[in-house]
Amino acid sequence: MKKIIVLLVTVLFLASCKKEIEQQDSEVDSTTIQQNIETKVDSIAIKRNDSIQLVKKDSVVAVKKAEIEKSKKSKKYAVYKGDEYSYWPIKASDSLRKLFYNTFTKEQQYTIAALNRIDTDHIKTRDTLIVPNEFKATFMDYTPFPRKLDNLAEVPKTVIFSYPIQAYGVYEEGNLVKWGPTNMGKKSAQTPRGLFFTNWKGRKVTSTVDDEWILNWNFNIHNTGGVGWHQYALPGYPASHSCLRLLDADAQWLYNWADQWVLADKKTVKVKGNPVIVFGDYTFGVKGIWHQLVENPEITNISKSQLEAIVEPYLAEIFNQQAIREEYNKSKSTTVKEDSLKVVKDTVN
């Protein structure tokens, strides 16, 4: 009987322990699950918080970037002043462009355009203009050419074109009488360098390269090469098909100033015109050196000694052709005088 009672108590005890263990396991599992759930929830919360912070951070950066871009677009670009010249970035600012046209007279705009090697129609196309801080009495006061060349003192008329500074100078007996801007041959069709003489001229000539190109005040200097100076658009860099582009007023002035050749027949030149010298090299692909006038107001200037050295090798031929022209003019003058005397004599009779 006792054995039965002990066995029963043992069974009851074991059942009680099992139930307690199961309850504990259940509590542990539920606790673990709850902890896991809480951990996951916390993890999600942390991720969400990090994500929110990142979004906030990215938003701030984006806003700042947008503000900077907006500031750039709305910023009114200022004029940068040098000692003698200033940069006017008129293409970047409508207000500055309006100020430019309201500040400077038509005559001053013409001077500014010439200093930038453009015509006034191209002012609006330039991103930045070089503008004098103070305007001088005459355009001649801006000349990059020396006022006098001693080795041309006995030459009646000479025209000199500089490729590097895209400008020309006119000399009478060695004294500078005029200068102005030019746009010469582009890289693929460069203007030939050396000594030439004025040939024939035409008030309005159709280009042999393109029959749609009308060349006003054309004066040929290289007959076989079809090179001459004439009026045409000046964009501010070498752009022609080897010719020497000029402002309309300058082309007209030179058209009336220079002498044509004299032909013995259609194929024979009896007397050449005036000497024309084209010299120097242009650095293609970059802005012309006149854009550096703000930093260095002397950058385009050619010294007297430099230009005389450039002219020197051509003097012998210049004087040779000059002597031929003088002889021709003398004979022409004598013929006129003799004819005049005969007319007077016949009239008296």
Can you say whether residue 21 is alpha, beta or left, with left for phi > 0 and alpha for psi between -120 and 50 degrees? alpha
Contact of 180 with 257, CB cutoff 8 Å: no
pLDDT of 334 reads 65
Q: Please give the helix or strand (H or E) that residue 47 lies within, else none.
A: helix 2-74
Closest CA relative to residue 221, chosen from 266, 173, 177, 276: 276
Closest CA relative to residue 143, chosen from 96, 111, 103: 111
Per-residue pLDDT reduced to its tens digit, 270-316? 999 999 999 999 999 999 999 999 999 999 999 999 999 999 999 99
Contact of 168 with 161, CB cutoff 8 Å: yes
- Domains in the chain, CATH or no CATH each: 80-132 (no CATH), 143-288 (2.40.440.10)
101: CB partners within 8 A, 6+ apart? 109
Q: Is the pTM of this model over 0.85?
A: no
The three-point CA angle 318-323-326 to 5° equals: 120
208: CB partners within 8 A, 6+ apart? 226
Tokens of 21: 């263990």
Q: Which residues pair with 228 in a beta bridge?
A: 220
Tokens of 214: 């009308």
Per-residue pLDDT reduced to its tens digit, 59-99? 655 665 565 445 444 444 789 999 999 999 988 778 899 99
3-state secondary structure of 132: strand
DSSP string, 49-77: HHHHHHHHHHHHHHHHHHHHHHHHHH--P
Q: Give the burial class of 60: count Cβ atoms within 10 A of its Cβ; 0-12 exposed, 13-18 middle, 19 or more buried.
A: exposed
CA 304, CA 334: separation in Å to the nearest integer? 39
pLDDT of 63 reads 64
pLDDT of 62 reads 64
**Regions of the chain short of the pLDDT cut 70:** 1-76, 209-211, 334-349
